[in-house]
Amino acid sequence: MQDIRSVLERAQNNGVALGHFNVSDLVLLKAVFSAAQELRVPVLVGTSEGEREFMGVRQVAALVRALREEYDFPVFLNADHTHTLDSAVEAAQAGFDSVVFDASALPFEQNARLTRQAIEALKAINPAILVEGEIGNIGTGSEIHELATDLSKYLTTPEEARQFVAFTGVDVLAPAVGNMHGMSQKMVAGEMKKRLDIQRIAQVRAAAGVPLTLHGGSGTDDEDLRRAIDGGISVIHINTELRVAWRSGLEAGLAAGDHQVVPYKVLPFAVASVKQVVLARLRLFNDGKQTSAEQKTGVASAV
Ligand code: G3H
Ligand code: ZN
């Protein structure tokens, strides 16, 4: 079984991106895992601080570990948007494979200093853990916003990326390149798409010298995502799209039987609905340049 680092390296070599999907319950986790298994592609499961608080830090770690071991499958767990050192340490101690240490709301120098400290503490717990840092502003909240905020003045510059990586030693960098967290109502309705600054992605990737993660992937134009992968994005985070599908699947499950109260008869509707979204996103992210199926998916030799 390969570790998260080699799976990431392999994605870069093959011109594909790893799909990262946030979960806050077993329905979402089942949907994400089942889609990755069906397509035979490695997958990252993410939990933000709020999602971890709901599921339990050690509990979600145990669930993902159980899937990885039972199915001998490359599924990894990321502590997403972790704002404090205590919470990052808790995740590392619970066995998370990676941590997004997110001090991006602070001024650049402070963000860099805290991220560097976090890396030192986390690598002391687990030298193999991947640590991602974040710069720029891509908004907060994987939910439905009334309108899309204009964040264009907070885009990451190549020079900021270079300085941040050189000072902190992050393994992975999350820049602001036209992406934003959450979806506007128009995006949910399919009337509007997020558009990415592809040229900036390539410049930031070259300056950073480490793999890039694209946060806020929900509602992004498909062609932009393809070009972003070509430009140097190696991990793509999707959350709101899954939450929207979770809700509509749940509503369908409840509507299917007026007197239905059996969770395992209602919830499969939500699993199926979320799984469709994950399948579509994973297909897009893994549509690499290599031709052999094994090279594309990575699973055959990743497990
Ligand atoms: O870390 C989580 C992601 O960046 C998700 O963003 O809700 O816009 O897909 P999203
Ligand atoms: Zn994010």
Q: Are strands 212-214 and 233-238 parallel, antiparallel or unpaired?
A: parallel
pLDDT tens for the chain, 303 residues long, are 789 999 999 999 999 999 999 999 999 999 999 999 999 999 999 999 999 999 999 999 999 999 999 999 999 999 999 999 999 999 999 999 999 999 999 999 999 999 999 999 999 999 999 999 999 999 889 999 998 888 888 999 999 999 999 999 999 999 999 999 999 999 999 999 999 999 999 999 999 999 999 999 999 999 999 999 999 999 999 999 999 999 999 999 999 999 999 999 999 999 999 999 999 999 999 996 544 444 444 565 444
User: For ligand 1, atom 10, which residue shows the shortest CA distance?
Assistant: 216
The alpha carbon of 261 and the centre of ligand 1 are apart by a number of angstroms equal to 32
Q: Among 290, 135, 278, which residue's Cα sits nearest to residue 212?
A: 135
Q: How far is the CA of 64 from the centre of ligand 2 (A)?
A: 20
Q: What pLDDT does residue 295 have?
A: 46
- Cα(233)–Cα(212) distance, integer angstroms: 5
Is the CB of 142 within 6 Å of ligand 1?
Answer: yes
Are 210 and 233 within 8 A, CB to CB? no
Of 44, 177, 238, which is best to mutate to test ligand 1, by the most ligand atoms within 8 angstroms of its C-beta?
238
Contact 136, 176 (CB under 8 A): yes
pLDDT in tens, 192-231: 999 999 999 999 999 999 999 999 999 999 999 999 999 9
The residues facing 43 across adjacent strands are 19, 75
Q: How many Å separate Cα 59 from the centre of its chain? A: 19
pLDDT of residue 146: 92
Looking at the chain, the number of H-run helices and the number of E-run strands are 14, 10
Helix (H), strand (E) at residue 112:
helix 108-125
**Given the structure tokens 């602001």, which residue do they identify?**
176
pLDDT at 152: 85
Give yes or no for residue 217 CB within 6 A of ligand 1.
Answer: yes
pTM of the complete model: 0.95
Ligand 1 atom at shortest distance from the alpha carbon of 80: 1
Q: Is the CB of 22 under 6 A from ligand 1?
A: yes
Evaluate: CB of 98 within 6 angstroms of ligand 1.
no
Is 80 labeled as catalytic in the residue annotation? yes
Query: Is the CB of 216 within 6 Å of ligand 1?
Result: yes
> What is the tens place of the pLDDT at every residue in 265-295?
999 999 999 999 999 999 999 996 544 444 4
Distance (Å, whole) CA 167 – CA 56: 33
Helix (H) or strand (E) holding 58: helix 57-71
The torsion angles phi and psi of 276, rounded to 5 degrees, stand at -60, -40
- Report the share of the chain in percent with pLDDT over 70: 95
Beta pairing partners, 101: 82, 133
